[in-house]
Structure 1
């Protein structure tokens, strides 16, 4: 007979697995059809679960979208914090994105040839609750990055550098979102921003020191 702890653990794993199926199904449909053209019923069918099961895990379709963002952000910052603080921030960001790609994350903002993640649209014109959630989570991550230190350092500028580095990493993400939004709106982008990594291109320009 399984113990109470084993039963609880098994239930927790099942719950997480179901939640993962819902998020994966929704993201696939968002990529193929767009956020507005995807219904909860279609997400349930794609995940092969009942509609009521979705509402056991999420309050709304927006909640599913934000869950994907939360998981992506956690994974991204985890990869960033594995890099040495002495590394140029552009190299850190690019290494983090490559590591995430190797782990199976699809690039849904900067990659060409597919719909961008719904957040690209909804940060600028959607519910302010969505934008508020995103900023709340980023503020938490900025604090995490600004207090991260991978080695003892007596340099009086080291702490300030960590804050600056955190802001640059946020700038990379926001820049990628901004460029994707402009592209969706039909804006004519400068050639350096037409490549595969416009967020990195902007970050490199910001850190060049001659603006």
Structure 2
């Protein structure tokens, strides 16, 4: 039998693989939001995505790998949107606009109120596998460096200015504050009735920049 060459990017096979991964992502995100990470099984994801369990394992070795791949794709979308904004724009406005891009792309804001399970990333960063937390933090360190370098290249800053790093840190603060607040809700600390991941992150950014803390 003659060996078949690997599929070239953009071929029908690659598009089919990408479509299958997207179905798995979407199903996992929906179920994690509705049932929480621990309450969602690979079999649940298989049923909602309408793909075989073995197909999921072809693409992802573990349930955590699905979550991390979804996280990576979210970060790609979010940071790319950040870098598209004017460099002299107020950073809270930049984050707000980037989150709108994320939402428009189908990555829904996560409610943090009532009986809604906390975002699945919360339990992993608070008490989960160090491998998962390490992946997330290393990825964010790379993205913060990317945001800071972009600010230096496009901004009019004095040499040695800390403003590019401050912009990058503010973007990360919006993200991590939402997860931290969600973790507090899980431990019994109340949040506003209309709280959501995006709203918490933007609210914290506004407070940090208000000079009132």
TM-score range for the pair, normalised by the shorter chain length: 0.7 to 0.9
Aligned pairs (5 A) from 1:181-192: 181-189=183-191
CA contact (8 A) 1:146 1:159 kept: no
| CA displacement at 1:152 relative to structure 2 | 5.3
Post-superposition CA distance 1:87-118 (Å, at most 9, x none)? 1111111111122212221112x554643320
SS at match of 1:155: coil
**TM-score, normalised relative to structure 2:** 0.86
- Partner in structure 2 of residue 120 of structure 1: 122
CA contact (8 A) 1:142 1:167 kept: yes
Q: Among 82, 85, 97, which residue is 2:84 paired with?
A: 82
Task: State how far apart, in whole Å, the 1-side matches of 2:212 and 2:160 are.
Answer: 22
Task: State how far apart, in whole Å, the 1-side matches of 2:6 and 2:29 are.
Answer: 33
Task: State how far apart, in whole Å, the 2-side matches of 1:159 and 1:20 are.
Answer: 41
Question: In terms of mean alpha carbon deviation, does 147-156 or 137-146 score higher?
Answer: 147-156
| CA displacement at 1:203 relative to structure 2 | 1.2
Aligned residues: 206
Q: Among 99, 102, 108, which residue is 1:100 paired with?
A: 102
Q: Structure 2 stretches of 5 or more lacking a match?
A: none
- Partner in structure 2 of residue 56 of structure 1: 58
Distance of aligned partners of 1:35 and 1:93 in 2 relative to their CA distance in 1, 3 Å threshold: same
**TM-score, normalised relative to structure 1:** 0.87
Post-superposition CA distance 1:132-172 (Å, at most 9, x none)? 11001101111110111497555315853111100111011
Task: State how far apart, in whole Å, the 1-side matches of 2:156 and 2:88 are.
Answer: 14
- Partner in structure 1 of residue 171 of structure 2: 169
SS at match of 2:206: helix
Task: State how far apart, in whole Å, the 2-side matches of 1:194 and 1:65 are.
Answer: 25
- Partner in structure 1 of residue 205 of structure 2: 203
CA contact (8 A) 1:179 1:199 kept: no
Q: Structure 1 stretches of 5 or more lacking a match?
A: none
Q: Among 138, 141, 144, which residue is 1:139 paired with?
A: 141
